[in-house]
Structure 1
Amino acid sequence: MLQLTDETIAEVLRRDEVVLVDFWAQWCPPCHMIAPVLDEIAKERAGLVVSKINTDENPTAARDYQVMSLPTLILFRDGMPIHTIVGARPKARLLAELDDALAR
């Protein structure tokens, strides 16, 4: 899983692949709950780049994408946000939401 910073997020979003960015913080219990699920998805889904950005260490990206609650997952296609998920989800529900967003 890619670890992003305020400086590297734009570079990653320019990729041809679909990118899922997990906005998280160390103090956030739901962020830690969803982390293993995201690790599994990163290994299982070819063509989906799963990445993380710590909002305490990288506040500019969180501000730029209007992240108000953690965890926030934003799915990007062609550098543009196409779907936002706020809060932790079970793996099956998260995958269903991602698949639905990608089908649009």
Structure 2
Amino acid sequence: MGIPMFLRPHKVEHRALTGMGGGGPVYGPADTVRVRYERKTGSVVGKDGRTRTYSGLLFWPASPAPGLDDTVTYRGETHTVVAVDELVMIDGTVYHHEVKVT
């Protein structure tokens, strides 16, 4: 099930973080994902205890979820994923993810 397509009018380019190289982060190939993007600001505390500020919220399809520190490009601006919240239905199936980006 999940969020209907008409409620996900925006397209983003997602690149998963695959590791660290000598020049910094290394990302995999880009894939296009339909989401709903909202400009929203706030802060989240990560598992490492660091507080990170976000400037956008993406309503992401149920599967697959992006990982922390992956990149998302929307309208030419590249953002970094700082938090991923999973919204689950009463039967335990994932409805969608709320992804916070820098």
- TM-score over 0.5 for the pair: no
Structure with the higher strand share, 1 or 2: 2
Query: Of the two, which has the highest radius of gyration?
Result: 2
Smaller-chain TM-score bracket: under 0.3
* Higher RCO structure, 1 or 2 (CA under 8 Å, sep 6+): 1
Q: TM-score, normalised by structure 1?
A: 0.25
Query: TM-score with structure 2 length normalisation?
Result: 0.25
